[in-house]
Copies of this chain bind each other. A is one copy, B any other.
Amino acid sequence: MILYSYWRSTTSYRVRAALNLKGIAYEQRAVDLVAGDQRTPDYMAVNPAKGVPALELEDGTLLTQSLAILDYLDARQPEPPLLPAEPLLRARVLAVAHSIALDIHPVNNLRVLGHLMGHFDATSEDARAWMCHWMTEGLTAVEALLPTRADFAFTEAPGLADLCITAQCYNAHRWGLSLDPFPKIARVEAACLALPEIRAAAPEAQPDAP
């Protein structure tokens, strides 16, 4: 498998962590989002949405959208599972994952920030404030949705909610947002980063990291 990804992309981080946890071998191909690689015709043939990650299977089939890729990986290699089988618990895990994947990440995406700076004269300080605003809103909801436990979000092993939380925490640290108001989120991040499979998926561990 070939994973098209970018070291700092939190959606790529989620997929790298899942591949590592499931022990699926993959080759990584860097798409430099800051240089604009995602807008080249070659890459748009891989992913018409001009984003990362994209996963190329052994037969050349291309999959896009990180959560769709994670769903596929869970079907292809069910152990360890990213989602519990019980429908209500599953809905709670998905609600937390989606509070990050839908309510925070897309609004803070590089392309949205670029548009904000290009069309609304936003300064880099405005961009930072924008990112922190949506992270604070979203993480407040996530903190309210998480149960009180000792380690992972909902279960004895990391799942979809844990991976989304840990990748988003990387962005929170990057932009100077304190996790002090979010002790349950901080607990999940610590539990995840104790695992070598997840540490190996972190941005700074990637071959395209500077």
Residues of A with Cβ closer than 8 Å to B?
A: 47-51, 61, 63-65, 67-69, 71-72, 75-76, 87-88, 90-92, 94-95, 98-99, 101-103, 105-107, 109, 111-112, 115-116, 119-122, 126, 130, 133, 137-138, 140-141, 144-145
Contacts of A90 in B (CB 8 A): 71-72, 75
A48 contacts which of B65, B106, B144 (Cβ < 8 Å)?
B144
CB nearest to A98 among chain B residues: B65
Instruction: Please name the 10 residue pairs, one residue from A and one from B, whose CB atoms are nearest each other, closest first.
Output: A68-B94, A48-B144, A75-B87, A49-B141, A72-B91, A65-B98, A120-B120, A65-B95, A106-B106, A68-B95
Contacts of A94 in B (CB 8 A): 65, 67-68, 71
Contacts of A99 in B (CB 8 A): 49, 64-65
* Shortest Cβ distance from residue A24 to the other chain B in the assembled complex, whole angstroms: 14
Given the known interface contacts A71-B94, A91-B69, A120-B116, the answer about A145 and B107 at a Cβ–Cβ threshold of 8 Å is: no
CB nearest to A101 among chain B residues: B102
State the number of copies, please. Answer: 2
Contacts of A95 in B (CB 8 A): 63-65, 68
Contacts of A116 in B (CB 8 A): 120
Q: In whole angstroms, what is the CA distance A101 to B64 when docked?
A: 14
* Shortest Cβ distance from residue A66 to the other chain B in the assembled complex, whole angstroms: 8
Q: In whole angstroms, what is the CA distance A34 to B5 when docked?
A: 39
Contacts of A141 in B (CB 8 A): 47-50
